[in-house]
């Protein structure tokens, strides 16, 4: 039906026009959308080498499906396919949406909104796992989801209009075809929607545009962050504008909050640090990061969107070398954002640390003391504190719900406005148990208080 040698972008356009012209004429109309909206179906002829996933990617933005996995499931149901095997020249019916595009909507929140959330990566977003995670989150008292917008591979989770993103292939494999529709769905479920952007750790951009990459001064540097060319120059105008374009695009789509991750320099010295501009010494790392955030603040000002920053938990402990190397100075960062989100993972602090022999075995102490120090740094600021806490077993010998529970207790204080659970693989079974126990404790406390008031 279509020439298999056509490039992906042209092929997608042809599919779209063919769907609009032939879907109604050739195949009877039917209602396949979960929300009751009308759809038409288009007959697609399978080319050699195509898979259900690849075909679904072509049509995702033209359907009512929120995720790639959902569209694959609908195609299977519509065509009576049990597994994933399809054959060249096989005709597949594809459900195409006829409804008008979803308009961007958002549910604005104040910076002091008390968040109880989880992180969800692009792989969970692509399948039914997203629904399962959201159901558990809501039943556990959660109210926020942090989605991957651009992750550590440098790829976007959605089809973008940003020119550079398309040029370097960052939009080659979107897992969400229509972000506004997804945001609306999440808002209808009562969720605060945050999208995470990994900024200056971008191996894809570094590989496609090596002139934007950061390289260590010593090629034989054995530091973990210096082993590969995966960082781009935070001070380069192209790098900055690229990330700001993505942030603006997401704001226009209706996200409630944009969260910058890797908003820092790497922990090794680079050639850029030696550069001079017009005979003057280069800006310090701290100035580069702070100036970029000032631009971001201005760029996002027209939108009712919160701006949050992920920072190292160790920054609050006042070590000058950490601040100078990363470029993260909390008091200055706080002037350019709404929320500071320190990554307080007890097992990630080196041992011994200060007077603590093994921080990884002291979850309550490390989280509560780190929060206290951040709170002190933010006391004259309108910026709120919202920590990431460790919901994964790395570096912990006896990881259990008690380990997470101790951290949840530690952030349950006036200095913090909620918390977010981090598990890179989105394995939250232990966290659900911890939240269940925490909710039971709070219910018992409320019951005891009510009985005391009633008695007296």
Rounded Cα gap, residues 18 and 8, in angstroms: 15
pLDDT digits over 13-71, tens only? 444 444 444 433 333 333 333 344 456 889 999 999 999 989 998 888 788 888 888 89
* Whether residues 168 and 93 fall in one domain: no
Q: Are 23 and 119 contained in the same domain?
A: no
Asked if residues 435 and 408 have their Cβ atoms less than 8 Å apart, the reply is yes
One domain, residues 188 and 86:
no
Give bridge partners of residue 48 from the DSSP assignment: none
Domain boundary among 46, 63, 97: 97
What is the span of the domain harbouring residue 301?
115-447
Q: Residues 411-424: pLDDT tens digits?
A: 976 767 899 999 99
With contact defined as beta carbons under 8 Å apart, do 282 and 274 qualify? yes
The packing angle between helices 52-59 and 8-26, to 10°, is 80
Domain end among 67, 97, 127: 97
Q: Is 356 part of a structural domain of the chain?
A: yes
pLDDT band at 280 (very low <50, low <70, confident <90, very high): very low
Could you say which of 97, 125, 140 is where a domain stops?
A: 97
Domain count, the chain: 2
Q: Is residue 143 within 8 Å of residue 191, measured between CB atoms? A: yes
What percent of the chain shows pLDDT beyond 70?
Answer: 82
Residue 60: φ, ψ to 5°: -50, -45
The structure tokens listed for 23 are: 């879907």
User: Within this chain, do residues 300 and 227 fall inside the same structural domain, yes or no?
Assistant: yes
What are 163-219's pLDDT values in tens digits? 999 999 999 889 998 899 899 999 999 999 999 999 999 999 999 999 999 987 765
Do 351 and 359 meet the contact criterion of CB atoms below 8 Å apart? yes
Q: Which two tokens stand for residue 191?
A: 């969720």
DSSP letters, 103-169, are PP------TT--EEEEEE-HHHHTSTHHHHHHHHHHHTT--EEEEEEE-TTS-BSS----HHHHHTT
DSSP per-residue letters across 279-327: TEEPPPHHHHHHHHHHHHHHHHTTS--EEEEEEEGGGGGT-HHHHHHH-
pTM of this structure: 0.82
- What contacts 16, CB < 8 A, 6 or more positions away? 62
pLDDT of res. 256: 97
The neighbouring-strand residues paired with 384 are 339
| Residue 365, CB-side half-sphere exposure with 13 Å CA sphere | 12
Dig out the tokens for 102 from the structure: 């979803």
Q: Is residue 3 part of a domain?
A: no
Q: Do 73 and 146 sit in the same domain of this protein?
A: no
**pLDDT of 284-309, one tens digit each?**
999 999 999 999 999 999 999 999 99
By CB atoms closer than 10 A (0-12, 13-18, 19+), residue 354 is: exposed
Span of 63-72, 73-82, 422-431 with lowest mean pLDDT: 63-72
* β-pair partners for 341: 310
Q: Which two tokens stand for residue 352?
A: 């011994």
């Amino acid at each position: 039906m279509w020439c298999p040698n056509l490039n992906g972008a042209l092929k997608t356009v042809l599919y779209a026009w063919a769907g609009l012209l032939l879907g109604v004429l050739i195949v009877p109309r039917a209602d396949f959308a979960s929300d009751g909206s009308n759809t038409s179906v288009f007959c697609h002829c399978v080319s050699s080498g195509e898979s259900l996933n690849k075909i679904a990617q072509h049509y995702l933005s033209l359907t009512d499906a929120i995720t790639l996995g959902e569209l694959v499931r609908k195609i299977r149901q519509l065509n009576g396919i049990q597994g994933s095997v399809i054959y060249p020249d096989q005709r597949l019916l594809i459900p195409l949406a006829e409804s008008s595009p979803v308009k961007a909507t958002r549910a604005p929140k104040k910076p002091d909104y008390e968040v109880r959330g989880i992180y969800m990566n692009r792989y969970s977003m692509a399948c039914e796992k997203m629904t399962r995670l959201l159901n558990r989150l809501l039943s556990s008292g959660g109210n926020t989801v942090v989605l991957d917008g651009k992750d550590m591979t440098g790829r976007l989770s959605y089809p973008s209009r940003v020119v550079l993103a398309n040029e370097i292939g960052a939009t080659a494999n979107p897992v969400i075809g229509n972000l506004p529709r997804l945001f609306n769905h999440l808002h209808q479920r009562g969720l605060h929607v945050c999208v995470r952007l990994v900024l200056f750790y971008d191996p894809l951009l570094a590989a496609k545009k090596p002139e934007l990459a950061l390289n260590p001064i010593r090629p034989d540097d054995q530091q973990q962050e210096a082993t590969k060319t995966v960082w781009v120059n935070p001070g380069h105008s192209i790098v900055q504008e690229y990330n700001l374009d993505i942030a603006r695009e997401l704001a226009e789509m209706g996200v409630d909050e944009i969260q910058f991750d890797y908003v820092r320099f790497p922990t090794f010295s680079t050639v850029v640090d030696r550069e001079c501009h017009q005979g003057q010494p280069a800006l310090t790392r701290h100035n580069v990061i702070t100036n970029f955030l000032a631009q971001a603040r201005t760029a996002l000002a027209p939108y009712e969107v919160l701006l949050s920053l992920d920072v190292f938990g160790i920054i609050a402990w006042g070590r000058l070398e950490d601040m100078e190397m990363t470029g993260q100075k909390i008091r200055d960062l706080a002037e350019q954002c709404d929320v500071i989100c320190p990554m307080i993972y007890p097992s990630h602090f080196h041992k011994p640390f200060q007077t603590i022999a093994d921080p990884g075995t002291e979850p309550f102490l490390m989280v509560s003391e780190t929060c206290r120090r951040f709170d002190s740094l933010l006391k004259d600021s309108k910026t709120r504190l919202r920590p990431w806490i460790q919901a994964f077993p790395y570096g912990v010998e006896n990881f259990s719900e008690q380990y997470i529970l101790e951290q949840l207790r530690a952030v349950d204080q006036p200095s913090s406005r909620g918390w977010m659970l981090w598990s890179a693989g989105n394995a939250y079974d232990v966290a659900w148990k911890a939240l269940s126990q925490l909710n039971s404790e709070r219910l018992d406390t409320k019951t005891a208080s009510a009985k005391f008031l009633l008695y007296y």
